[in-house]
Structure formats: structure tokens, C-alpha cells
């Protein structure tokens, strides 16, 4: 199955590379810099002007968010990417993504699995596709039905998902400022190998979306540190 998935994504990556992608949105570059300063975040623009970067620390742990060209073929336009070196339990693996994206990836995986005409090899398989095959979806009654209608969670252990996704974080993920990202807008966060990640399509491409995405990501890091930190052994 995974060999066919690799082949198809290799083909699509080449096709996507032919598309003309606009530069990151600089319409609010000055406003982003000013806002980042008020929050104590670092802000920079790459030398070629292709990527905007926000940086900061949570409980001494470094995090970074970038706005630039997409690194996944299911994202169009600009992409927001977040990464934080949290040092939490490295065995914990949890993924939350909007349900529309999960269904689209599952449909894609099925079509690749049943397509014997793919012949081009790809040395890597998108991580999200592996997760769909490796982990089961989990859920619980402590979060509102509306959350589960919009998002799906996969985890190695249900207890790890419970320790991360608290009601406050779930509420933030439902309370996007208007005009809000649609149900179909690709969005995902994950905990893997002691790190936290965010990936989403920057849509709508405006300051409120960026600010709320940063709030969600930093809050997710706080929640992970609170629920999944490795105990310190004291002599």
C-alpha cells in the first residue's frame, strides 16, 4: 500500500512544482512585526523575502512559526508551519486534524492503493499518510459534539490525547475570528518525538488568522508541557 502512496505523491509533487506560487503575504508585514514585538516574539523575513518567521519561548522551550510556500500538496497558496522543541514524552504520538482533510487523505490513500498504474518511486512518504495507517481515531465525551464534527484525533494511546487536548484548547480551535477558516481548510497539529508541530493553509490570509493560529499553537505547547512532561528524577 505504502509503495503506491509513495509513487502517487512523487508524481503530484512534480506536477505541483510546475505551478506558480505567489510569495508570502507581505500585506501586513509591518503590522506583524509590531504585533510580534508587543508579544515578545522575534520576527524576521528571509533574505529572498519568501518566508516570514515568528519565534519565542514557552517555559524556556523554543518554538518557531513560519509563513511561506506550502510543503504539502494538499495545501494551496501559503502555509503556516509551527515547530516547538518541548522535550515531552517522546513515546507520545497524537495528531489532530480537520475531519475534511482526514477524509480527503483517506480517499487519496485508497485510490493510490487500488491504482496499479503508478510506476514512479518516491524516497519518502508524507507523515500524515503513515499516521492514518498506524493510529486509531480516539474521542471522549468531555469535548462538545461540534468539536468532533470538525476535528478528528488519532493517537498511540487515548490517554495521551486526553492529556493534551483540554477543553480550553479545543474551544480556541473552534473560535476562529471572522472571516474564519472554513471546515475544508487544511489544519493539523501533532505531538511526535517530544516535539509539537502545526501545519495549516493560511486561509483567510489576514492578521487575525495568523494571530489566532499563533495563540492555538502556543497554547497547545503549554498544554503538552502540562500534561505530557517527563518527570525529573531527583537524587
Confidence band for 230, pLDDT divided at 50, 70 and 90? confident
C-alpha cell read off for 180: 474564519
C-alpha cell at 38: 508587543
Q: What is the dihedral of CA 118, 122, 124, 129, to 10 degrees?
A: -10
Residue-wise pLDDT tens digits, 102-154: 998 888 777 766 665 454 444 445 677 788 888 999 999 999 999 999 999 99
Higher pLDDT, 70 or 8: 70
Neighbours of 181 (CB within 10 A): 19
DSSP lists the bridge partners of residue 226 as: none
- The model's pLDDT over 188-214, given as tens digits with 9 standing for 90+, comes to 999 999 999 999 999 999 999 999 999
Amino acid at each position: 500500500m505504502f509503495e503506491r502512496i509513495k509513487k502517487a505523491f512523487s508524481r503530484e509533487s512534480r506536477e505541483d512544482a510546475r505551478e506558480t506560487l505567489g510569495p508570502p503575504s507581505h500585506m501586513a508585514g509591518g503590522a506583524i512585526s509590531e504585533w510580534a514585538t508587543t508579544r515578545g516574539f522575534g520576527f524576521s523575513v528571509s533574505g529572498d523575502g519568501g518566508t516570514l518567521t515568528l519565534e519565542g519561548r514557552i517555559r524556556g522551550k523554543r518554538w518557531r512559526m513560519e509563513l511561506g510556500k506550502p510543503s504539502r500538496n494538499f495545501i494551496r497558496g501559503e502555509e503556516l508551519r509551527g515547530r516547538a522543541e518541548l522535550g515531552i514524552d517522546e513515546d507520545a504520538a497524537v495528531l489532530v486534524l480537520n475531519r475534511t482533510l482526514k477524509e480527503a487523505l483517506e480517499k487519496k490513500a485508497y485510490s493510490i492503493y487500488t491504482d496499479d498504474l503508478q510506476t514512479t518511486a518516491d524516497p519518502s512518504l508524507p507523515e500524515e499518510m503513515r499516521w492514518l495507517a498506524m493510529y486509531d481515531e480516539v474521542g471522549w465525551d468531555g469535548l462538545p459534539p461540534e468539536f468532533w464534527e470538525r476535528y478528528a484525533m488519532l493517537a498511540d494511546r487515548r490517554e495521551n490525547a486526553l492529556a493534551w487536548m483540554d477543553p480550553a484548547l479545543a474551544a480556541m480551535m473552534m473560535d476562529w475570528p471572522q472571516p474564519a477558516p472554513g471546515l475544508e481548510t487544511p489544519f493539523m497539529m501533532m505531538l511526535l518525538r517530544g516535539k509539537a508541530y502545526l501545519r495549516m493553509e493560511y486561509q483567510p490570509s489576514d492578521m487575525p488568522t495568523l494571530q489566532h493560529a499563533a495563540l492555538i499553537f502556543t497554547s497547545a505547547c503549554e498544554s503538552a508541557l502540562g500534561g505530557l512532561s517527563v518527570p525529573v528524577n531527583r537524587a
